Amino acid sequence: MNTEKLVSEIKRKQSFLCIGLDVDLSKIPAHLLELSSPIFEFNKAIIDATHHLCVAYKPNIAFYEAYGLEGWKALKLTIDYLNTNYPEIFTIADAKRGDIGNTSSMYAIAFFEDLGFDSITTAPYMGKDSIEPFLAFEDKHTILLALTSNPGAFDFQTLESNSKPFYQSVLETSKTWNNSKNLMYVVGATKAEFFKSIREIIPDHFLLVPGIGAQGGSLEDVCKYGLNSNIGLLINSSRAIIYASKTKDFAAHAAQKAKDLQQQMKAILVKNKT
Amino acid sequence: MNTEKLVSEIKRKQSFLCIGLDVDLSKIPAHLLELSSPIFEFNKAIIDATHHLCVAYKPNIAFYEAYGLEGWKALKLTIDYLNTNYPEIFTIADAKRGDIGNTSSMYAIAFFEDLGFDSITTAPYMGKDSIEPFLAFEDKHTILLALTSNPGAFDFQTLESNSKPFYQSVLETSKTWNNSKNLMYVVGATKAEFFKSIREIIPDHFLLVPGIGAQGGSLEDVCKYGLNSNIGLLINSSRAIIYASKTKDFAAHAAQKAKDLQQQMKAILVKNKT
């Protein structure tokens, strides 16, 4: 999916919500555990109940790999279900991959071609030749870690180098890579005070923003400095939505939580005349 | 597997060779493609022919994920085959994972528990809480990217911060993390001139060294500065060994290439009286 289509879906739905599908079998309703693929059935119910309130879904691949072959099957069923039934949805493989060039090419094949995701998250540590193989795919996006939402972000990402924090070097250098128009960036909602300087370096790129809700980030603060003329934000919420309830009507509870966020987003878009 | 057992195997076999099992279906002998799991059959033949010449195998997970469900099945068959038939072998999931804490825990479960690897490679960008969930596993090793063998290593890893290159901050900071005794580090063979300063920071930890052979690194140079009193090196070779030949006796050719390296390692160990 290209950026124009994503922006038009955000405007149509008045939502820039991404829902994280991080399925932990110990947290889903018990009645699903009797089905042949509980993970997929959970995702399917969440997707059917929330697809009109969000523009993106983001399975975190760790939660599927932890269940081995069954997990990988559930991931495949989930992305196939999304691509078949909701092709207007932007899909994100939250995988945080990155390796030497020929190996990154194999990951790109895995997630863009074999599974058919629209985008993948990647880690910058190994530099240009570890990311360009992902960027080579047309109408696919590569979402590079910049400033993450976890406490460990302050271990290395904010170290000063050449009088600026390291994550700013990641932003500036990555802009020079081939097909950098296909880049988006991960910036944590818990770092709202950093959005202004980030937008000075990358005014046009989309930011994928985790950390609203369970991790304590504020939607208002993120939008104040993060929105651009193309909206330019995907706000992710995972646990607060998908685990809203463990009852049989869990999907309706999830939809209510998603709607609360969508309504807040709509108000922000109206206020900003977007 | 604990470090003592690994060191005793290195001394017994007079080898610190790790063989990378990065299987690309376009590069393996044609007769294998007719079998039900060509990737596993290829690995099995390579393992049976080389296990006495090396102490570790390292499947790069990208090469399995690129083949979807079949790839994941082949990975499972390969690690099960190793753990059942050659429990003295140290197994490395070359996965370069790293995510927020609860997600890294899921990756640790995937690779240490579900698949049963002895170790996994990880990326440092997200800091302490992204790596400690791996370090919490007893007798498992977490192999952190420090200075990699690819050209992109110079994009970020060697940026100066507090008068030292960034990868040295990674080494110094990671030493302070809980259970840091379970750390090993990836240092590329193409960076032999850096080994001396690296050994000043981490004299005791094992280094996993890719980049010998196809990427141009020198075994002699790496050993000159990298060996410690516990040997402390695992030298990886992938393509130069496993793709030595595409004929029906490919495994014998692979064994010959592995033996060449093992003999060089033996000579170095004898010379160093290890």
Tell which of B137, B156, B162 to mutate to test the A interface (max A CBs under 10 Å). Answer: B156
| Alpha-carbon distance values, B119 to A126, B56, B81, B93, B202 (Å) | 20, 10, 16, 6, 19
Q: Could A97 and B96 be called an inter-chain contact, meaning their C-beta atoms sit closer than 8 Å?
A: yes
Chain centroid offset of residue A130 CA: 20
274 residues of chain B, pLDDT tens digit each: 999 999 999 999 999 999 999 999 999 999 999 999 999 999 999 999 999 999 999 999 999 999 999 999 999 999 999 999 999 999 999 999 999 999 999 999 999 999 999 999 999 999 999 999 999 999 999 999 999 989 999 999 999 988 899 999 999 999 999 999 999 999 998 877 899 999 999 999 999 999 887 677 889 999 999 999 999 999 999 999 999 999 999 999 999 999 999 999 999 999 987 6
Residues of chain A falling short of pLDDT 50? none
Domains of chain A, CATH where assigned? 3-271 (3.20.20.70)
Residue with tokens 């790839």: B71
What count of CB pairs under 8 Å joins A to B?
184
From B117, B115, B172, select the one nearest B144 (Cα to Cα).
B172
Cα dihedral sign for A164, A165, A166, A167? negative
CB of B71 closer than 8 Å to CB of B65: yes
Q: Could A69 and B69 be called an inter-chain contact, meaning their C-beta atoms sit closer than 8 Å?
A: yes
From A117, A88, A71, select the one nearest A9 (Cα to Cα).
A88
Rounded to whole angstroms, the Cα distance separating A78 from A269 reads 30
CB of A99 closer than 8 Å to CB of A65: no
Q: What's the pLDDT at B191?
A: 75
Of B60, B62, B125, the CB nearest to A123: B125
Q: What's the pLDDT at A166?
A: 95
Dihedral angle, C-alpha A9, A12, A14, A15, nearest 10 °: -20
Question: How much is the pTM?
Answer: 0.97
Cα dihedral sign for A244, A246, A248, A251? positive
Q: What's the pLDDT at A243?
A: 96
Q: Could B162 and A159 be called an inter-chain contact, meaning their C-beta atoms sit closer than 8 Å?
A: yes
Of A72, A126, A157, the CB nearest to B150: A126
Q: What's the pLDDT at B274?
A: 65
Predicted complex ipTM = 0.96
Q: Could A173 and B154 be called an inter-chain contact, meaning their C-beta atoms sit closer than 8 Å?
A: no
User: Which residue among the candidates B96, B164, B175, B224 is catalytic per the annotation?
Assistant: B96
